[in-house]
Every structure is written in C-alpha cells, then in structure tokens.
C-alpha cells in the first residue's frame, strides 16, 4: 500500500532490483536526484527492475526522476510491470516519458561517441528531408494561389506589389551595382595577371563578359537579395505571427497567401531580373575600367570585342535564371516567417535559416543549370 504523504521518498535495494518508497514529489527532488546519481554511477542492481508497490505521492518532478532512472522505453510499458498503480499515474509517467528528450533520458548512450555522431547525422538528414517536403508543399500552395488570383483582377494587391518592388528592387540597386562593379574589377585584374604570362591579356575582355553575362551578374544579385530581402520577409511575417496579426487576418476570412506571400513573390520575380541586368552592366564596367587603366585596352576596343566575340545567348542564359532564383528566395523567406513561433528567439532563428537556405538553393540551382547548359551546348 502507498505510504503516507509525510514519508520522504527513497530508493531501496532488494534482492532482485530496486524499490521506490515514500513520496516522489518536488519537496524531495534534490535528495532523490542525488540518490539516483549514486545508483547510476555505482554497481547496484539493474534499474530495469523497479518495484513501485510502496510508492507514495507522485508528481511531475518525481515522474521525471523515474524516467531518468529507468529510461523512456521501460516507462512507456509501465502498465504491464506495475499494474497495481492507478491509471492516472500510468498516464502521468507515459506523458513525461514522451515529452522528455532522449539525450537526457539515456545518458549511457553518450559513452559511444561514434554512435552519437551517427545519430546526429540521422536527425539532421531527417530534418532536412522534412524541411524540403515543407518547401515543396509551400511552393505548390503558392502556385495554386497565384493561378486562382490571376483570373480575379479585383483580388490583386497592386499597392503592396509596388511597395515591395521598391523595397526589393529600387532600394537594392546601389549596393548591387557597387558590389558587381568591384567584383568585375577584381576578376579582370586576376585574369590579366594570369593571361599576361601567355601574352593573351586581350582575352581578359572575354573572361569578364562571359563570367558576368552567364554567372556572376545574376548570381551576385541573387545572393545579395537572399541576404537582404529573404531575411526581411521572414522577419516581417514572423513578427506579424508573434503579434497575432496573421491570426486576425484569418479570423476576418482573408487569405494570408494573397495578402502576404503573392505580392512578395511577384515583386521579387520582377526585381531580380532588373537587378541581374544592372549587375551584368556594372561588372562589365568594372572590368572595362581595369582594362583601360592597367592593360591599355580602350573602351572602344573593349566594346568592339564584346560585340564581335560574345553571342547574345550568354546574356539570355544568365537572365533566364533570375526568375527561378527570385521565386525560390521569396518562397523560402515567406515560409520561414510562417514557421516562426511567438518568441523573438524563434524569429531570429528562422531569419538566419531563411538566409542560409536561400543562398544554398541559389548556388545549387545555378550549378545544376550550368551543367545542363553545358550539356546542351548553350
């Protein structure tokens, strides 16, 4: 029979295992934890054999100690090996076992560092798969909302679209132009340094124009927007969710996809091709400046080589990737904002995640596109 409420809890050894006696409550938590620590690091009987017949009062803190002592798998089967306990006590122990993380429940697993590392890898792969599944689902939801709203002009949010175009496109022109101009100058300088040994410095013009028309122009603009705009989208939507503004919109019967997601996605798809074009021009201008000052290649000669040797398809290949990059950046930024919870820490974590995911996806898609165009001979 359970003992009285005034009896302090204890862990007693007997012939075939351990016996929990007295009250396992918050009042006796510290002492019981020390007792469990001695038992775990000592050479006592197997903790899988535990007798609960003399257990007195039990609260959540005591249930946590029992789960730490025996492990979650054994506690989940408590109704089988401790049928004398009431059903509400079984329910408490099972709920605590399911709620506690495995890393605190089973400390003996940490003895094998290799197994722990494999477990971490498995969890990371599982989280990555779940993340990509959510992204694919959100892309489908975005495309479905876009298709339904295109046929209903009254539901277009033109004011929000123009405002986001200004935020994502117009305000980003100076930083994109400056960045690509400097990178173009660096690429031309490095190319001239290598080509000078072969007496082929004139091909620095081809190097700069090829690289910026096909890759650097759109890639640098997309990376800039991934860090600048995707983070802003996540922070804006995450803050709205923390302030329960999104719940208010849904309570009013308004579509959050049409109000929050579609204007941002369309604005990004309009802005990034323009920024990519500006980045191409700025990068080529930076290369032309280096050619003029360091290689004695005049601007007229630079433009003549550009017109004669560089086909138009390189420009079209680079510009064709911009809408795809823009769509992915905007969708990832909005999705991470919706995934944020009500805390400031969660908003910050998902903002960081949106930037990392956007840059990773941009580089991944760019690499796949480069291999595809190379295989097609474009």
Per-residue pLDDT of 297-323, as tens digits, reads 889 999 999 888 888 889 999 999 999
Output the CA–CA distances (angstroms, integers) from residue 11 to 17, 45, 54, in the order listed: 10, 11, 10
Please give the pLDDT value at position 1: 41
Question: What pLDDT, on the 0 to 100 scale, is given for residue 102?
Answer: 54
Burial of 374 (0-12, 13-18, 19+ CB in 10 A): exposed
**What's the rounded Cα separation, in Å, for the pair 306 and 203?**
11
Each of the 378 residues of the chain gets a pLDDT tens digit; together they read 444 445 887 878 776 678 888 888 888 888 888 888 777 655 444 555 788 888 888 888 888 888 888 888 888 888 888 888 888 888 888 888 888 765 444 444 445 667 778 888 888 888 888 888 888 999 999 999 888 888 888 888 888 899 999 988 899 999 999 999 999 999 999 998 888 888 888 889 999 999 999 999 999 999 999 998 999 999 999 888 888 888 888 888 888 888 899 999 999 999 999 999 999 999 999 999 999 888 888 899 999 998 888 888 899 999 999 999 999 999 999 999 988 887 788 888 889 989 999 999 999 999 999 899 888 888
What pLDDT score was predicted for residue 15? 63
Residue pair 309/204 in contact (Cβ under 8 Å)? The answer is: no
pLDDT single digits (tens) 47-66:
557 888 888 888 888 888 88
Q: Which pTM value belongs to this model?
A: 0.67
Q: Where are the domains of the chain?
A: 10-108, 138-376
Q: Which long-range contacts (CB under 8 A, 24 or more apart) does 299-303 make?
A: 302/205
**Cα first-last separation, the chain:** 83
What residues contact 1, with CB distance under 8 A and at least 6 apart? 53, 54
pLDDT the model gives residue 72: 84
Residue 13: beta bridge partners? 18
> Is 321:369 a contact under the CB 8 Å cutoff?
yes
pLDDT, position 107? 43
Please report the pLDDT score of residue 196 as a whole number.
Answer: 85
């Amino acid at each position: 029979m359970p003992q009285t409420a005034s009896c302090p809890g204890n862990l007693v050894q007997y012939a075939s295992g351990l016996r929990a006696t007295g009250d396992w409550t918050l009042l006796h938590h510290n002492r019981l934890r020390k007792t469990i620590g001695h038992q775990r690091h000592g050479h006592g009987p197997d903790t899988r054999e535990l007798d609960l017949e003399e257990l007195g009062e039990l609260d959540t803190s005591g249930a946590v100690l029992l789960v730490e002592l025996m492990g979650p798998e054994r506690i989940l089967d408590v109704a089988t090996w401790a049928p004398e306990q009431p059903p509400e006590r079984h329910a408490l122990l099972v709920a605590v076992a399911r709620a506690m993380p495995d890393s605190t429940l089973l400390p003996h697993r940490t003895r094998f560092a290799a197994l722990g590392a494999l477990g971490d890898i498995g969890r990371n792969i599982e989280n990555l798969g779940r993340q990509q599944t959510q992204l694919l689902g959100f892309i489908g939801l975005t495309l479905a909302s876009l298709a339904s709203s295109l046929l209903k002009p009254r539901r277009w949010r033109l004011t929000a679209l123009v405002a986001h175009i200004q935020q994502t496109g117009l305000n980003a022109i100076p930083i994109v132009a400056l960045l690509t101009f400097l990178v173009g100058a660096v690429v031309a300088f490095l190319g001239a340094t290598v080509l000078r040994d072969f007496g082929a410095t004139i091909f620095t013009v081809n190097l700069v124009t090829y690289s910026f028309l096909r890759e650097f122009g759109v890639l640098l603009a997309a990376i800039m927007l991934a860090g600048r705009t995707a983070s802003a989208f996540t922070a804006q939507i995450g803050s709205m969710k923390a302030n329960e503004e999104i719940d208010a919109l849904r309570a009013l019967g308004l579509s959050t996809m049409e109000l929050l997601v579609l204007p941002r996605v369309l604005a990004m798809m309009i802005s990034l091709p323009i920024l990519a074009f500006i980045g191409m021009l700025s990068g080529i201008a930076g290369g032309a400046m280096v050619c003029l000052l360091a290689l004695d290649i005049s601007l007229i000669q630079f433009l003549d080589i550009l017109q004669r040797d560089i086909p138009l398809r390189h420009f079209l290949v680079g510009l064709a990737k911009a809408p795809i990059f823009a769509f992915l950046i905007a969708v990832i930024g909005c999705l991470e904002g919706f995934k944020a919870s009500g805390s400031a820490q969660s908003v910050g974590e998902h903002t960081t995640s949106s930037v990392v995911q956007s840059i990773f996806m941009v580089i991944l898609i760019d690499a796949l596109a480069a291999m595809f165009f190379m295989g097609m001979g474009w």
